[in-house]
Amino acid sequence: MTQAFDAKGAVDTLYMFSCTLLLFSVVFGLSLFYSGLIQRRSSFTMLAIPMFLAALVFVDWYIWGYSLCYGSSSNHFIGSLKFAVLREIRSTGQDIYSTPRGDILAVVHFLFNGMMKVITVVITFPACIAERGRILPMLVFLFFWSTIVYNPVTYWIWNRNGWLSTERNSIPVLDFAGGNCIHIVGGFTGLVYSYYLGPRNPKILENYRSSSNANMVIGTVFTVYGWCGFIAGCDFKFSATTFYIIINTLLCASCAGISWSFIDYYNSATPLDGNIHDGNSSNSTTADGHLVPVSKKRCMSIISFCSGLISGLVVFTPCGGYLSTDISFWKSIVCGLVGGITGNMATRVKYWLGIDDALDVFAVHGICGIVGSLLVGVFADDLYNSKGGWVTHHWVQMGYQVLAVVVVSAYVCVVSLFLLYVVDIIPGLHLRIDKDFNRRMMANQNSDTESGENKEYSTRYELAELMGTDWYEFRGEYTMDFMEFIRSLNPNDYVEEVESKEHSGYQAETSDSIQDLRKRSA
């Protein structure tokens, strides 16, 4: 921290404050995006959770989060409590935070990086509990995760004394705006959390429909808008490079959206037998001469395009200013194309792993964050106190990038899994609404083979999960109250909508149980 402050510093600080305000639109955009992507019975939960998360994270950031990330320390792994509750900063209000990128007021640095942590949490945790997780245990887990996972990783890379910091220059990892600290941390946390919760109840997935594609589109627009300030703000100064960063961010996102959409458009005409046909209707003939349709007309998907845009933003996050010169626009195009293709392919990983990542956080943020971190090792120019990547013949940089990806991913997975186990065994803090679902799945038992007491116990929790997190967590506060009013008038129609006709016996039982559960909760 220094005390000098000139006119340029004032301009840079005002610019950084403007970028900080833009980050609020990212939080709002992600809330709308997740709310629109999920089913209507849980859409309000996705919209409301970020408010709770932002409040909790910002208090944590004020108390000790900022200090543990950016406070000077004698070790290379975690910061001190030098800046706890903003002491040594609030005394004068004129302290300057100096980096090779630029100099700004320390309090603005606190605000900007605090919002970056909020965005990390908003990216990760709503998707973790989608349609099956409880909020209170998630908040408890978040408190420990924030302190033990996010803060150390941020210190490693962005604190000048961190062991992966470019300023320390021992193992200089290039991460302009958070490929490791935000996306890899968030993506792998989401993967582990989804693994621990187990898959969603199959009854929830029948006739699956997103609650509002319009909200998803609007949320994507707000996210892209705010993300320009997110990446450009990490330059810490206002200059011509600011505009290059924004142009490259939009180029990368656009190319990723196009490539992702093209893959889904092409595959939309793929029949179940795996053979690709042209866009026209194709048929084969059975032995008795009847025609059997084997393909369908290709179609566009706004969900695919929005997902591609987000993946492009993620890929360019670690690249940022390292790839943003007046002659490097082609690099962002390559990054966007690679990011869109790998992000689309990565959505299949959850099926290979058998993990129900409901909103593809691991694919879009974890995998694309890794891709971006590796691409910066290839295309980085020798800027911001770095020696660049392969394009500047700094061949060892890729080794540093791979090391950071492996270490951060492993650390996040191991520590997060341990914290989830600890929270889950605390009485009253079971992470999943239907806490016996995984046990029943593993035992391959259904309610008919259990004792009467266990049958009622399992049905009660399963029923609560089937009713949706909006009903379970918020007791009737919904995104679209008209829809829920219709459901209250015709509960039997709602049950038939979400459950298979193969479970007709269970439907009658569940319909009666819904009425009984409503009476008890009234």
pLDDT of residue 100: 78
| Cα–Cα dist 465/204, whole Å | 9
| Cα–Cα dist 485/481, whole Å | 6
- H helices of 325-396, in order, are 329-346, 349-353, 361, 368-379
| Cα–Cα dist 328/389, whole Å | 14
Encoded tokens for 137 = 């245990």
Residue pair 230/319 in contact by the 8 Å Cβ criterion:
no
- Could you give the dihedral angle defined by the CA atoms of residues 224, 227, 231 and 236, in that order, rounded to the nearest 10 degrees? 130
Convert the pLDDT of each residue in 447-467 to its tens digit.
444 444 444 445 677 888 888
If one counts every other C-beta atom within 10 angstroms of the C-beta of residue 341, the result is 18
CA angle 121, 37, 460 (to 5 degrees): 85
Convert the pLDDT of each residue in 386-402 to its tens digit.
899 999 999 999 999 99
Residue pair 148/141 in contact by the 8 Å Cβ criterion:
no
Where do the structural domains in the chain lie, given as residue ranges? 10-269+298-425
Burial of 404 (0-12, 13-18, 19+ CB in 10 A): buried
Residue pair 205/22 in contact by the 8 Å Cβ criterion:
no
pLDDT band at 91 (very low <50, low <70, confident <90, very high): low
In the predicted model, is pLDDT for residue 510 greater than 60? no
In the predicted model, is pLDDT for residue 257 greater than 60? yes
If one counts every other C-beta atom within 10 angstroms of the C-beta of residue 275, the result is 11
Contacts of 209 (CB under 8 A, 6+ apart): 39, 40
Residue 201 three-state SS: coil
| Cα–Cα dist 237/184, whole Å | 26
Convert the pLDDT of each residue in 217-228 to its tens digit.
999 999 999 999
- H helices of 444-490, in order, are 452-467, 469-474, 481-489
The mean pLDDT of the chain is 84
Residue pair 423/430 in contact by the 8 Å Cβ criterion:
no
CATH of domain 10-269+298-425: 1.10.3430.10
| Cα–Cα dist 13/108, whole Å | 7
Kindly state the average pLDDT of the residues 252-277.
78
Q: Of 470, 49, 31, 38, which Cα lies nearest the Cα of 211?
A: 38
Convert the pLDDT of each residue in 312-349 to its tens digit.
999 999 999 999 888 889 999 999 999 999 999 999 99
pLDDT of residue 328: 84
The model's pTM is 0.85
Burial of 447 (0-12, 13-18, 19+ CB in 10 A): middle
